[in-house]
A and B are shown apart, each in its own frame.
Chain A
Amino acid sequence: MTAVEQGSVLDQATIERKQARRENWRLLRRKPGFIVGGVVVGFWVGCAILYTRITPKDPFTYTNPEGKVGPNGTNWFGTDKIGRDIFSRVLAGARDVLLVAPPAALLGVAVGSLFGMTMGYFRGKVDLVISRLIEAVLSLPLILVGLLVLTLSDTSELLKAMTFGSRRILVIYVVALLFTPIVARTVRAAVIAERDLDYVTSARLRGESSTFIMTREIFPNITAPIIVELTVRIGYAIFTVATLSFLGVGLPRPSPDWGLAISDGRDLLQAGDWWLVTFPALAIATLVIGVNLIADSIQSVYDR
């Protein structure tokens, strides 16, 4: 084979590779799920950044002296028990959830990937021990973990230092802790599929360390499932943050957090005051669905 002849073929190959990359974007942009998800998530991100300017009322002060009123011309979504504008609070609530859920998912995926890679690469006893630990964590109910950490955060100096006294960071830790085992399992499976491939044997034959093989050789080949896992986890994280707040072990008052709002309005639901719960719940639902639509689109493009 001469260089010239190979050249013409390879030019083609380069072009095709570039086309494939562009193709990925094109496919993604053409997916209705991705567009709808992008618009919904974009809306909430916009709210999170700009809420101080776009909310018609101050979400933290009592704008209605009558206290609780139903949706009307001035308070579109009504007001809550103590007269705060629900529309403004729902918009402002995006900020809390978006400050907590994505970092929590990211942390969970990062730590989970680390465990997963270690388990998948070494197998044997390491795998066995970590697997049992993971099963133990997975068997704990959400509320128990939340309460436990919350209690500890009041007494443990270490935890105080780690969270810098912030409840948001504490919630991030709790969610990440709950996600780590699930992510670790996914990544472990991906690593096991890779570690018996010949390029890994080749790396061992030239004397590479395990750390090098895991981080430089295997890791770049399992980024696709990790990215998919991350997007899926962000969706779950939004839900989990809301759940923690609803259970009273998440973000503290007077946060406009949606889960908290649902928790506060819950007992009035039977009295017919539906707006207290419905609007924050809709907010959670739209954001989670939006994120999941994006996650599904990314997954289908990677799996193509």
Chain B
Amino acid sequence: MTTSHQTLEVKDLQVAYVVRGVPRPVLRGVSFEIAPGEAFGLVGESGCGKSTTAFAALRYLPRNGRITGGTIEVDGTDITRLDRDGLRQFRTHDASMVYQDPGTALNPTIKIGKQLIESFTILGQSKTDARSSALAALHRVQIADPSRVMDRYPHQLSGGMLQRVVIAMALACDPKLLVLDEPTTGLDATVEAEVLDLVRILRHETGAAILLIAHNLGVIRSMCDRVGVMYAGKIVEEGPASEVFDDPQHPYTVGLLRSLPRHGQRKSEHSLATIPGTLPTLGAELPTCVFVDRCPIATDLCRTQEPPLVDAGLGRTTRCHHRDRIVEILDLDTASVSGTSGDTVLQITGVSKTFRQGGHDIPALVGVDLSLADGETLGIVGESGSGKSTLAKAILGVHAPDLGSELTLDQHQLSGKLADRSADDKRAMQIIFQNPDSALNAAWTVRRILNRSVRKLTGVNKADGETKVARLAEHLRLSPRHLDMKPSQLSGGLKQRVAIARAFAGDPRIVVCDEPTSALDVSVQAAILNLLAELQSEQRTSYVFISHDLGVVRYLADRIAVMYLGRIMEVGETDAVFDGPHHPYTEALLSAVPSVDGEPRERIHLDGEIPSPANPPSGCVFHPRCHRRIDGVCDITEPPVLDAGNGHLMRCHIPAEQLLELQRDR
């Protein structure tokens, strides 16, 4: 692209963070450009410099950030040369940014309306003009009932609505450049899909150039015209999104894409590819090719000569010496794991959990029936607030379920309260948490963490405990040096390994995995998923695997349960649930996932938001949002449990055959 008029033109940008007086380079010559109305995406592992690039584009670096070279031109103006007033004018009129967490982007003590009006008065509008502009802005971002939203405080709105408000504020000045830094991370897939739809529409309306940062490759693929893949402060590959994702020309891009479970891949087929090694630390000396240490096809040439920017055709560029050998990167480890299941380990019948809050009963779980076989993985999916984690905690006894709930472990009755369970029962069930930072005691060494679990759970003596810890660490590929470190010294992936090792310390029968990879980069996620699959096939452990990432669940789970408002809406073999017939809710969930493979899919729009469990809708709890609801039936009668064959159950008024037909027509 050599058009003379670009909205954003970044040339050889170099940024360093000054740490203890020493500048540490973060961006090492980043160049890209975005035309008006174009959307450009940046992808890469955490720490690669994506966000720094985004902040630099508005010259909004942290206090220790320095632009040490290069230029950033927005609409022809080099913003690296602007003085304070110029920069202020630039940020007020020409560019806006939307951050990851809308909750912290808004002031919690000021009403939405006032904050929104402010972003118009700063542009010189009068109070009354600003007020009508604010209302119009809320209309524009398709918020329901804008005039009421104006009178609300941020905490009274849901995450999706807040992000709409933030977008409305960002668009107030009609910016030429809109920077979105992980705008949908932390939102549910269904909400994410709607926010992305909105951004797509607004982009065409405003003609702003968009710089989108996201770690979710599917989001980038569905949103962006062009994409840049970043690694260690450099863009290693750039080109049209469809070309880069379908036919990657850099080994790193290949590695990133291969570590995702795609195309309905299952653990029984083959394990996920990983990228060995880790990103170089901030400011480290880099070899000639930044990726050389982790590249499977690197040669001596890569170590002696910096790879040039190669034109790879179809508007793509890549920084690789060996573009012709990309095809050689094969799945190094394609060993599959067998996922045979045996007898029932855990049976839960009529499990309910009611919380009391301010004198009101809030049923978080309502009559959940599930069974888990020996060596089986049961995936649990659903939007946040659907009761997934509550179910996990009820099974573990952390939140004792209501009276009348029945839990049976290995044919014996299990007490609901953790304190009443026997040592053996406690040992039988363990958990792996989402966030390894809070899951590990920061004040303890890894050795102490593992040792305590081994000894407490198995009751072995000191010497045997130490042997067992050493074996466990070896098994989880933790080197002996890691054992004497504290969690804060380990990377995210290593921390999660420690957490997994702890869960396996007492040879558990069941391990509950509560979003175990959602805080990790995709390459690390692949390694963790492989490890979980491996451990399962060796030890015949059963998993209850909670995740919002349907690709991950599909890869790992043998059976899937779909939850909504504390109820199981559908349960069945993974293939059956994914292939259909689906419960209408499952159908909507599946359609909301942005795919990295870019398969065109018509999205099902879910009306409104998940209702409060305190007063669930009548009849079928899903009916107010259901696109297939039958008025007069679904809103009055509770749906029966349908059997679509082979243990595939769903709660719906529409017969399975008819659902299958309806869904095939789409």
Contact = CB atoms under 8 A, between A and B. Distances in A.
A17 interface: yes
Report the interface size class on chain A.
20 to 34
A204 B433 contact: no
Contact of A14 (B284, B396, B485): B485
B431 A3 contact: no
Contacts of B490: 10, 13
B418 A205 contact: yes
Contacts of A12: 281, 284
Contact of B441 (A2, A6, A9, A221): A221
A18 to B, nearest CB: 10
B481 interface: yes
A213 to B, nearest CB: 10
A207 interface: yes
Nearest to B294: A5
Given A198-B438, A199-B438, A206-B506, A1 B277 contact: yes
B481 A7 contact: yes
B423 interface: yes
Interface in B407-438: 418, 423, 426-427, 429-431, 433, 435, 438
Contact of B485 (A2, A10, A204, A207): A10
Nearest to B482: A10
Contacts of A208: 456
Contacts of B453: 206
Given A14-B485, A198-B433, A206-B506, A5 B276 contact: yes
Do most interface residues of chain A lie in helix, strand or loop, or is the interface mixed?
helix
Nearest to A14: B489
A201 interface: yes
Contacts of B442: 221
A6 B479 contact: yes
B439 A198 contact: yes
Contact of A205 (B278, B431, B485): B431
A197 interface: yes
Contacts of A10: 481-482, 485, 489-490
B477 interface: yes
A61 interface: no
B444 interface: yes
B457 interface: yes
B444 A220 contact: yes
From B398, B429, B479, name the one whose CB has the most chain A CB atoms within 10 angstroms: B479
Nearest to A223: B443
Interface string A191-226: 000000111011011111000000001001100000
A157 interface: no
Given A13-B485, A17-B488, A220-B444, A5 B456 contact: no
Interface string B630-658: 00000000000000000000000000000
A204 B419 CA distance: 9
Nearest to B454: A206
Given A198-B433, A205-B396, A207-B423, A5 B481 contact: no
B284 to A, nearest CB: 8
Contacts of B274: 1
A63 B438 CA distance: 66
A5 B506 contact: no
Contacts of A13: 485, 489-490
A141 B336 CA distance: 74
Given A205-B431, A207-B456, A1 B493 contact: yes
Interface string A237-281: 000000000000000000000000000000000000000000000
B656 to A, nearest CB: 39
Nearest to A221: B443
B291 to A, nearest CB: 13
Contacts of A207: 423, 426, 456-457
Interface string A1-34: 1110111011011100101000100000000000
B334 interface: no
Nearest to B494: A6
A247 B40 CA distance: 74
A205 B398 contact: yes
Nearest to B443: A220
A122 B267 CA distance: 43
A230 to B, nearest CB: 18
Contacts of A3: 477, 479
B169 interface: no
B666 interface: no
Contacts of B214: none
B148 interface: no
B114 to A, nearest CB: 31
A5 B493 contact: no
Contacts of B456: 206-208
Nearest to B436: A198
A201 B398 contact: yes
B221 interface: no
A217 B427 CA distance: 19
A204 B418 contact: yes
A197 B488 CA distance: 15
Interface of B: 20, 274, 276-278, 281, 284, 293, 396, 398, 418, 423, 426-427, 429-431, 433, 435, 438-444, 452-453, 456-457, 477, 479, 481-482, 485-486, 488-491, 493-494, 502, 506, 527
Given A10-B485, A206-B427, 11 more contacts: A5-B277, A6-B278, A7-B481, A9-B278, A10-B489, A13-B485, A197-B439, A205-B431, A206-B426, A206-B453, A221-B441
Across chains A and B, which 5 residue pairs bring their CB atoms closest together, nearest first? Answer: A220-B443, A198-B439, A198-B433, A197-B438, A5-B277
14 contacts: A1-B276, A1-B493, A6-B479, A6-B494, A13-B485, A19-B20, A197-B439, A198-B433, A199-B440, A201-B398, A202-B431, A204-B418, A205-B396, A220-B443
